[in-house]
């Protein structure tokens, strides 16, 4: 029985101790912005508000009533706030002229502390303590101050003696994490060099550099920056190319959106190197409409049906060497993401008309016909040469041929001589006798 009574008393003690206990509140504020630390209580008159930071008083507010009538209703209390005196003390030098509570809100049970132009030095645990005629109230607030990413800058740099991508973030806290990728993906190891440096205010400047891969000029380089406090990730990507065209001939300047962007807006601009980029046209992904600058109306064309599928290629019509040679910048953008393609376009001088192209083809045709006729003549010559007798230039053959001719001539001469006949008959009889014997 005694144990039950002990446990009952213990639970009652915990209940009474937690009755006026307010859960801790975590507040996240941004650098240089106004920040509010909430504190609510039951008003009871003659309030004294104290704010502690790490158990040290940093702000104190006291209010006293000229009229001690506690039976005034809430409506009258706001109307009579001008008849009530209050004393405000800022105990901490860093909060001087930046911390305050609203007197008319204190009478309504709101002792919220407002910090103007908050900084990283304001981080910490704060405690609000309010004393009134009717009791006390305590609340704890954990203040986090951050500097979110405001922008991400990606460019091509050659200052190191070779081409590299440079990704930069400024005035951010806490220090972010930087990762690199390419599209299409490559099997080569990406080895960026990332440097982080804090300034006097504690804000970080991040510089990450990646050397461009050899033999892969058409890669998209992607820089992604994430924060430890769970804010949105920022992504920037870049691709650069060189394009050559001829004056008077239409030219297509390619631009494709990477896979990590979905339904981005499109913006084209142009720079001749002497002035800031001037707009050419813009495409709104929500409305599906594009608007071009008047000076470019007759020279550019965009296929609006292909843009939602990531193809923002620009057709440059009837380009001029002096007017249209320069840098064309294509940007696909979304919140916290930007893809840029810079094309250095060179329009060669000289006007080439359709008549010039036609005369060019006539020259090619004449050359081809001439080659065909020459080949036919050569074949005919070789055929005729094959039918003619070939001369015999071998001395042995000539000598042998002459010997045969001389023998034939001598034979004919002997047949026509009488000595040749008699001799023949004698020889014939002798041979016959020889055989008979």
List the single range of 15-24, 249-258, 271-280, 344-353 with lowest mean pLDDT.
Answer: 15-24
Mean pLDDT of the chain: 80
When pLDDT is cut at 50, 70 and 90, the band that residue 421 belongs to is: very low
Percent of the chain with pLDDT over 90: 51
List the single range of 100-109, 261-270, 393-402, 416-425 with lowest mean pLDDT.
Answer: 416-425
When pLDDT is cut at 50, 70 and 90, the band that residue 7 belongs to is: low
Report pTM: 0.67
List the single range of 166-170, 204-208, 402-406 with lowest mean pLDDT.
Answer: 402-406
Is the model's pLDDT at 202 over the cut of 90? yes
The reported pLDDT for the residue numbered 19 is 44
Token representation of residue 218: 């058409």
Is the model's pLDDT at 306 over the cut of 80? yes
Distance of CA 340 to the CA centre of its chain: 6
C-alpha–C-alpha distance, residues 284 and 308, integer Å? 10
Is the model's pLDDT at 8 over the cut of 70? no
> How far is CA 75 from each of CA 71, 78, 362, 399, rounded to the nearest angstrom?
11, 6, 100, 151
When pLDDT is cut at 50, 70 and 90, the band that residue 64 belongs to is: low
- The pair phi, psi for residue 46, each rounded to 5°, is 50, 55
The reported pLDDT for the residue numbered 238 is 97
The reported pLDDT for the residue numbered 377 is 81
C-alpha–C-alpha distance, residues 325 and 51, integer Å? 65
The reported pLDDT for the residue numbered 363 is 78
User: Any idea which residue has 């230039």 for tokens?
Assistant: 393
373 vs 193, residue with greater confidence: 193
The reported pLDDT for the residue numbered 204 is 96
Beta bridge partners of 241: 343
| Model pLDDT for residues 325-365, shown as the tens digit of each residue | 999 999 999 999 999 999 999 999 865 545 445 556 667 77
C-alpha–C-alpha distance, residues 30 and 33, integer Å? 6
Is the model's pLDDT at 41 over the cut of 80? yes
The reported pLDDT for the residue numbered 82 is 41
CB 224 within 8 A of CB 179: yes
The reported pLDDT for the residue numbered 45 is 82
What residue ranges define each of the domains in the chain, with the CATH number in brackets? 21-146 (2.60.40.10), 149-232 (2.60.40.10), 238-352 (2.60.40.10)
Token representation of residue 157: 């740099």
Beta bridge partners of 244: 346
User: Any idea which residue has 């026509």 for tokens?
Assistant: 416
User: Any idea which residue has 């060099």 for tokens?
Assistant: 193
Is the model's pLDDT at 209 over the cut of 50? yes
When pLDDT is cut at 50, 70 and 90, the band that residue 88 belongs to is: low
Interval 164-188 mean pLDDT: 94
179 vs 6, residue with greater confidence: 179
Neighbouring C-beta atoms of residue 319, cutoff 10 Å? 20
Token representation of residue 151: 């922008």
230 vs 8, residue with greater confidence: 230
| Model pLDDT for residues 120-158, shown as the tens digit of each residue | 999 999 999 999 988 899 999 999 999 999 999 999 998
User: Any idea which residue has 């008979």 for tokens?
Assistant: 436
| Model pLDDT for residues 226-247, shown as the tens digit of each residue | 998 778 899 999 999 999 999 9
When pLDDT is cut at 50, 70 and 90, the band that residue 21 belongs to is: low
Interval 288-304 mean pLDDT: 91
Interval 89-114 mean pLDDT: 85
243, 250, 254: which is closest to 306 by C-alpha?
254
> How far is CA 15 from each of CA 12, 20, 129, 333, rounded to the nearest angstrom?
5, 9, 20, 56
Is the model's pLDDT at 318 over the cut of 90? yes
C-alpha–C-alpha distance, residues 97 and 59, integer Å? 11
The reported pLDDT for the residue numbered 44 is 82
The reported pLDDT for the residue numbered 389 is 54
Interval 75-81 mean pLDDT: 43
The reported pLDDT for the residue numbered 43 is 87
C-alpha–C-alpha distance, residues 231 and 171, integer Å? 15
CB 343 within 8 A of CB 241: yes
């Amino acid at each position: 029985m005694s144990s039950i009574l002990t446990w009952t008393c213990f639970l009652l003690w915990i209940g009474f101790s937690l009755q006026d206990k307010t859960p801790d509140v975590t507040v996240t504020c941004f650098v240089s912005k106004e920040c509010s630390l909430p504190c609510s209580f039951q008003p009871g008159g003659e309030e004294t508000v104290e704010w502690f930071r790490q158990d040290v008083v940093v702000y104190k507010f006291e209010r006293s009533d000229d009229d001690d009538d506690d039976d005034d209703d809430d409506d009258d209390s706001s109307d009579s706030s001008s008849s009530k005196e209050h004393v405000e003390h800022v105990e901490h030098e860093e909060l001087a002229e930046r911390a305050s509570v609203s007197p008319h809100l204190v009478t309504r049970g709101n002792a919220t502390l407002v910090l103007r132009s908050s900084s990283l030095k304001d981080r910490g645990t704060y405690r609000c303590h309010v004393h009134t005629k009717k009791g006390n109230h305590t609340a704890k607030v954990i203040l986090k101050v951050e500097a979110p990413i405001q922008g991400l800058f990606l460019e091509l740099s050659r200052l190191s003696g070779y081409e590299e991508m440079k990704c930069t973030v400024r005035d951010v806290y806490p220090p972010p994490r930087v990762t690199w990728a390419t599209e299409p993906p490559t099997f080569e190891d990406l080895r960026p060099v990332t440097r982080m440096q804090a300034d006097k205010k504690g804000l970080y400047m991040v510089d990450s550099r990646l050397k461009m891969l050899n033999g892969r000029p058409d890669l998209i380089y992607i820089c992604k920056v994430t924060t430890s406090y769970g804010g949105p990730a920022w992504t920037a990507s870049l691709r650069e190319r060189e394009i050559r065209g001829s004056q008077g001939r239409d030219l297509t300047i390619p631009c494709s959106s990477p896979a990590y962007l979905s339904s981005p807006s499109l913006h084209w601009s142009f720079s001749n190197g002497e002035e800031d980029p001037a707009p050419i046209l813009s495409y709104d992904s929500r409305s599906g409409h594009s608007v071009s600058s008047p000076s470019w109306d007759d020279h550019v064309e965009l296929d609006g049906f292909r843009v939602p599928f990531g193809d923002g290629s620009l057709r440059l019509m009837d380009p001029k060497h002096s007017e249209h040679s320069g840098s064309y910048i294509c940007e696909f953008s979304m919140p916290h993401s930007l893809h840029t393609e810079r094309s250095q376009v060179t329009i060669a001088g000289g006007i080439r008309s359709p008549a010039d192209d036609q005369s060019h083809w006539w020259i090619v045709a004449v050359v081809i016909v001439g080659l065909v006729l020459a080949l036919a003549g050569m074949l005919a010559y070789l055929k005729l040469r094959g039918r003619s007798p070939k001369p015999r230039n071998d001395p042995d053959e000539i000598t042998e041929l002459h010997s045969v001719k001389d023998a034939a001539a001598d034979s004919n001469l002997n047949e026509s001589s009488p000595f040749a006949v008699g001799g023949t008959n004698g020889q014939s009889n002798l041979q016959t006798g020889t055989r008979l014997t």
